[in-house]
A and B are shown apart, each in its own frame.
Chain A
Amino acid sequence: MNPDTEARAKPRLDLAAGVRFRRIAGRIFREPLTHFALIGLVLFFGVGVVKAARQPVIRIDSEELSQLIIYWELQMQRPPTQDEVKGIVRERIDEEILSREALRLGLDRNDMIIRRRLAQKMSFATEDLAEAVEPTDAELRTLYNAHPGDYAAPPRMTLRHIFFSDDRAAGDARAAATRALVQLQQGRTDIAGDPFVMASTFADISPEALDKDFGPEFATAAIAARLGDWTGPVRSAYGWHDLRIEARSPAQVAPFADVRTKVREAWLAQRREAMNAASLAKLRKRYRIEITDAEARG
């Protein structure tokens, strides 16, 4: 059809119908029943709109959805199909609805498990706040000076020894060590014993380490030996030794710089404890505590 022909045909139809419509509409408009219906409609939809605005919302954002999908994939070892994603979302929504309804009905009250979980979350939250502070060196030094025992190192020594193996014929090792000792004490420096798997000098070794590697007699002898003098023969788990202590440092507190990390950890732990106690004490003030059991009160 030609569009021009149609356009021209339209106005002719309108004339009589337009007059009739206006007359009927006027009558309906003035009718009280109409007013009643209109007010009813406004009220009906209006309340609906207000209600919808106050309805609780469950929103699943893409971050949470991708987390849910990761869990799903972990279990099934494949990505979910579109339908399965819908299922995951539906399940999550159901869970949310049920949990909110449970809260609404107060099902969380008097439940030990929920109470513990919440208390735990709260104390974690308090701890997180406490961690944010970085102690100053001065603060750390104060703590370090207050507890020097926590940072003490065992006594240490540097020693040289000459070894005479038990694998020599019986009695031989001890006799050789005794002979060598006399020469060593006379200042001879060319005395050799038997080769030894471990070192012939030990720098910075503790009595505990000597006990572990040589046996208790050796460790005791090393502690007792006079600095700089050859002594012996000393028994070990391997044979006999002549030994000389070259240097010795008593048990001492490690320098602050060496244990700063350790002090910092102790400081943070202390602070965390204090913060927790303080925040709990503050919270406690908000409550009046009544204990009806006489024994528990005491």
Chain B
Amino acid sequence: MKRLKQHRAIVWSGLSLALVAGALTFNSDSALGETVRPKASSPATPAARPATTAGAISDPRLPGYNSDRNAYFGDLHVHTKLSYDAYIFNVRGSPDDAYRFARGETIGHAGGFDIRLAGGPLDFVAVTDHSEYLGAMEEAARPESPLSRLPIMADMFSPDPKQIGAAFNRFVAASRSNTVPVEMRDPKIAGRAWKEIQEAAARNNQPGRFTTLVGYEYTSAPDGKNLHRNVIFRSAKVPGLPFSRLNSPDPEDLWREMDKWRGQGIESLAIPHNSNGSDGLMFQTTRLNGAPMDQVYADLRRRNEPLAEIDQIKGSSDTHPSLSPNDEWANFEIMESYIGSATRVTKFAGGYVRDALKAGIVMQEQKGFNPFKFGLIGSSDTHNAAPGSVEEPNFFSKVGRSDSTPELRGSVPPGGARSWNGVILEGGTSRYQYWGAAGLAGVWAEQNTREAVYAALRRKETFATSGPRIRVRFFASYDYPANLASRNDVVAQAYAHGVTMGGDLLPSRGKAPSFLVWGLRDPRSGYLQRAQIIKGWVENGVAKERVFDVACSDHLPLNTTTWRCPDNGASVNTATCEVAQTKGDVELRTLWTDPTFDPKQRAFYYVRILENPSCRWSTWDAIRNGTPPNPALPKTIAERAWSTPIWYEPRH
């Protein structure tokens, strides 16, 4: 039986590889740890890059090419006026505007003010509008359009935040009960918007400088439980229309459609997000239809979903304090309601990526397949056509006019009041206050081109941040020399003799692996406080987790019994948001050997880098308003970055 399963696994691996024309160096299910990069010392051949589909895509080497790979920062979750909800929120920014904003230009906000990135341009962006009713709300707002006469459009377009909220709720309820008039999904209207998205991407793509990717959001939420995904395409070759929730609410059908596209030479990947608002549904261990998972399902899922979005404005999906009671940093930008409503989440297991990674290795151990072997990215989910707008001192939240003022987003007392006495926040504001200025995607790629960035996403050489542009390197090997971290050719050596994030460590021959962890601060954000490795492993059939501090700032000694750094004494003046300039490090770098390593135990390891504490956006808003910060919210946060895991796959 086991052998049969293995054969099936091999056949499926082969099939899936054939499907992508063998073009992409993402890990196959054969657990062969194939992410070991070809030697960096062969600059004549771009061996580090994935081979390309027979002649379909070429990626000429540009002057900035770096065989040790550069970190590029981007946003893979961006809505414009073409999304029905953004349009209701008064957003009029187009895909072109989104790309202009990402390149550092100024655009208008629905609230009537100008917005601009303080941290400078991003490197790559995908506009991902909702595929459901794509472009139709903009159409319906034109008095000459027949759509404007639909009864559901009465009072749909108002500048008043209360009315906007009511209109949004009404439309979402109609969508959920399938009573939105069919005219709203006129393929002609959707086709026009889809074309606008593709043309804007083509116009704004500048190989070597700025990468655009064509994408869209698949917006399924059975009973309001969030199963949203962003679909990102490798090239300009995309289907005639997106496959949306209106085609099927079951993501399995989306993946099958993506397989079909792949057969037609259209390569794409899907990234689930806001698992925190799924009430445990996103990473539950059965299929959506209730059937048990099997190898075929796991392959289908992994072939199409190599990544998950761990952080965005609507909260962090790393872990929930109730799932990780021994993680002192778990309580970070936690959102405990459904998406777009006040319904409370009751089931946290299945809703967070760390829990899913653990469930995945248990399934691998017990059933021989792992549906949750994904890499990590962050992104904003801005609905303001404003990619990367996740800067704490420069935050205008994400739903257009609805949360455009500090009062509307709950950071200053309502009605011009000077104190929070007796204040109870209502409506959207009661939820917006808990949203974070968070979510950025990082990739390690040889150059900033569509081909190189997409290949990095495919092989999961990605990381996520809560907004700051913190760079994270992560490698593992059994053979790294002890002085690796202090060598000048450290990166080339690390690639040549180990695996990087997204890869598998082969079975150990008795030696414990060592991990190179390296974080570099964002020049415009705080200093780094500590680097951690989060380990998940299977012990007697049960998944466990532990957080290890592995590098401390300020030359502080690491306690190797508790695996915690001493407090570095960093503090924030919450009256001014000023931080002490003498605490924390520019970079944290170490080579760490797992003292608890057991060659028989299946495991994963990922890095979390923590900054010194700094003011939360709500505190910045309060200071500018001259009122005390909202007492329901933390005044400061520890900004952070997460790497994609490295998995240890023991022999069976």
Contact = CB atoms under 8 A, between A and B. Distances in A.
Given A71-B182, A197-B518, A199-B68, A117 B144 contact: yes
A231 interface: no
A253 interface: no
A112 B144 CA distance: 8
A143 interface: no
Contacts of B64: 202-205
A238 B185 contact: no
Contacts of B473: 197
A192 B143 contact: no
Contacts of B145: 117
Contact of B586 (A166, A204, A213): A166
A208 interface: yes
A202 B524 CA distance: 21
Interface stretch (B158-166, B372-380, B484-492): B484-492
B473 to A, nearest CB: 6
Interface of B: 62-66, 68, 70-71, 104, 119-121, 143-145, 181-182, 185-186, 203, 208, 246, 471, 473, 485-488, 490, 518-524, 553, 555, 585-587, 589
A197 B587 contact: yes
Most chain B CB within 10 A, of A158, A214, A237, is at A237
A166 B121 CA distance: 26
Interface string A193-216: 001011110111100100111110
Given A167-B587, A198-B520, A215-B523, A120 B121 contact: no
B246 to A, nearest CB: 8
Contacts, number: 83
A164 B104 CA distance: 30
A147 B62 CA distance: 26
Interface string A79-123: 000000000000000000000000000000000111011001000
A290 B203 CA distance: 43
B328 to A, nearest CB: 24
B488 to A, nearest CB: 5
B586 A113 contact: no
Interface residues of A, number: 35
Contacts of A213: 523
Given A195-B487, A237-B586, A238-B586, A75 B144 contact: no
| Dominant secondary structure at the A interface | mixed
Given A74-B185, A197-B471, A197-B520, A239 B586 contact: yes
Given A113-B144, A214-B523, A199 B66 contact: yes
B587 A75 contact: no
Contact of B182 (A75, A192, A199, A205): A75
A195 B485 contact: yes
Contacts of B143: 112-113, 116
A255 to B, nearest CB: 14
Nearest to B525: A237
A112 B104 CA distance: 40
A205 B455 CA distance: 23
Given A195-B487, A197-B471, A197-B518, A212 B586 contact: no
A198 B70 contact: yes
Interface string A144-175: 00000000000000100000011100000000
Contacts of A71: 182, 186
B71 A165 contact: no
Contacts of A114: 144
Contacts of B65: 203
